[in-house]
Amino acid sequence: MNFALNTWTSDLAGLLFPKSCLLCGKTLHQQEETLCTTCFYKLARTNFQREAENPIIDIFSGRLPLVSATTFLFFSKGGGSQQLIHKLKYKGKKEIGVYLGKLFGNQLNDSELFNTADAIIPVPLHPKKEHKRGYNQSLIIVEGMAKSMKARVFPDVLYRKVHTSSQTKKSRYERWQNVKDIFEIKKGQRLEGKHVLLVDDVITTGATLEACGNKLLEIPGIKLSIASLAYAQE
């Protein structure tokens, strides 16, 4: 009886307040979530999670000793991934992060390179920026990923101690100078000996992830992998 009532209520809500695709604006069918089927299949997936050697692992070659690295989507100016990430970061559409995180987590769960991860850590925002935005978009993505993976989320091990300016429009060297000494670890013993997956929203030069990774690698016995929701090629 309760199941039938809940289904009826859900159907009625769908009729009165139909949800729209967050890319094209079309009304979503009952089985669709966040994106319509057409936009879902148009997502520019990289499928790098299947490749031990790929452009993301190459970014960190000689910079970080990684188990593996990948990204979910190609980030192109004006493309679907850019629009979705913009809405996630600046328009309060947290459901995009959860949705894409679940899709990404499903991919990683099927990859022998990533399904041994014990812990997932989001790149942190400075408290001032997080307070202004209302949330950390990387944590939202990670929470979605954790719904599909066995790894546990550790949102408070890595923190940003310095508020910095935006990385946008900075050169590779300026990006590194901007972030190289701004992260710290607390209660890192919880990750000793674990395979940790460090997650950001977008990789460009990898400077922020490198700075975070260097701090995490100070924890004894840690094995580090990196993942991002999108990859913006320079």
pLDDT(149) > 90: yes
State how far the Cα of 136 lies from the Cα of 157, in Å rounded to an integer: 15
Quote the pTM value. Answer: 0.87
Over the chain, what is the mean pLDDT?
Answer: 89
- Contact (CB, 8 A) for 125 and 136: yes
Q: Which helix (H) or strand (E) holds 190?
A: none
Check residue 172 and give its pLDDT: 60
Apex 183 CA angle, 179 and 185, nearest 5: 165
Q: What is the pLDDT of residue 8?
A: 44
Residue 14 has pLDDT above 60, yes or no: no
- pLDDT for the residue 169: 58
∠ CA 106-110-111, rounded to 5°: 120
Q: What is the pLDDT of residues 90-114, one digit of tens each?
A: 999 999 999 999 999 999 999 999 9
Put residue 225 in one of left, alpha, beta given phi > 0 → left and psi -120 to 50 → alpha: beta
Please tell me the distance from the alpha carbon of residue 51 to that of residue 30, in angstroms, as a whole number: 35
